[in-house]
């Protein structure tokens, strides 16, 4: 049986793409200038986390916001607990989030508290 080869090869040159050139003063985010500048660079704006108060907020902040913005949650409509359980499980099973079973429970509690059905209290 033919073994499958390493399919995605990254050119060495790319690996050498440097911070140094990216950080040179005057690097512009405007396309017009960038077309003259061989290094195209942007600086992403910083949006403060939007974390409504709720139980186990610390676990949510430490585990969920490690990889993604709080807006993944705050822009969602309200959902029943089963939906939030499924979402947290997906983060662990699919995305490999390092969250213990106990922490998963805690995080579901938080999500349910801030984005559960209106009548969940």
Partner 1 sequence: MTGVLHRRSFAAMLAGLGGSVAANRFLGPHVFGNLLPDAWAAETANAPELARYPQKTDMILLTDRPPQLETPLRYFTTDLTPNDAFFVRWHLSGIPTSVDTRTFRLAVSGNVRKPLSLSLQDLRTRFEPVSLVALCQCAGNSRSLFEPRVPGGQWGNGAMSNARWTGVRLKDVLDAADVLPGTVQVGFRGLDTPPIPQTPRFEKSLSIDRARDGEVMIAYEMNGTPLPMLNGFPIRLVVPGWYSTYWVKALSSVAVLDQPLKTFWMDTAYRVADNPGAEESPQQLAKTTVPITRMAVHSIFVKPAPNEQLVAGKSYTLQGVANDGGSGIRKVEVSTNDGKTWGDATLGTDLGKYSWRLWHMPWTPTAKGSYRLQVRATTDDGQQQATSQWNRSGYQRDVIEHLDVVVA
Rounded distance between C-alpha atoms, residue 90 and residue 49, angstroms: 22
Rounded distance between C-alpha atoms, residue 106 and residue 75, angstroms: 20
Binding to partner 1 by residue 118, rule CB under 8 A? no
Binding to partner 1 by residue 1, rule CB under 8 A? yes
Question: Angle formed by the axes of helices 81-93 and 101-115, to 10°?
Answer: 140
Say whether 82 sits in a helix, a strand or coil. helix
Residue from 38, 53, 101, 119 touching partner 1 (CB under 8 A): that is 38
Binding to partner 1 by residue 61, rule CB under 8 A? no
Q: How far is the CB of 54 from partner 1 (least distance, A)?
A: 18
Structure tokens given for 33: 């200038």
Q: How far is the CB of 85 from partner 1 (least distance, A)?
A: 12
- 109 by Cβ neighbours in 10 Å (0-12 / 13-18 / 19+) ranks as middle
Q: How far is the CB of 105 from partner 1 (least distance, A)?
A: 19
Binding to partner 1 by residue 29, rule CB under 8 A? yes
Binding to partner 1 by residue 33, rule CB under 8 A? no
Q: How far is the CB of 57 from partner 1 (least distance, A)?
A: 18
User: What 8-state DSSP symbol labels residue 23?
Assistant: T
Binding to partner 1 by residue 100, rule CB under 8 A? no
**CB-wise, 26 or 35, nearer to partner 1?**
35
């Amino acid at each position: 049986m033919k073994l499958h080869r390493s399919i995605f090869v990254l050119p060495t040159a790319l690996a050498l793409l440097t911070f140094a050139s990216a950080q040179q003063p005057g690097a512009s985010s405007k396309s017009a200038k960038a077309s003259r500048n061989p290094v195209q660079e942007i600086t992403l704006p910083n949006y403060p986390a939007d974390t409504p108060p709720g139980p186990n907020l610390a676990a949510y902040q430490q585990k969920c916001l490690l990889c993604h913005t709080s807006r993944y949650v705050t822009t969602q409509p309200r959902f029943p607990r089963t939906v939030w359980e499924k979402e947290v499980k997906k983060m662990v099973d699919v995305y490999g989030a390092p969250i213990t079973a106990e922490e998963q429970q805690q995080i579901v509690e938080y999500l349910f508290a801030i984005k559960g059905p209106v009548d969940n209290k």
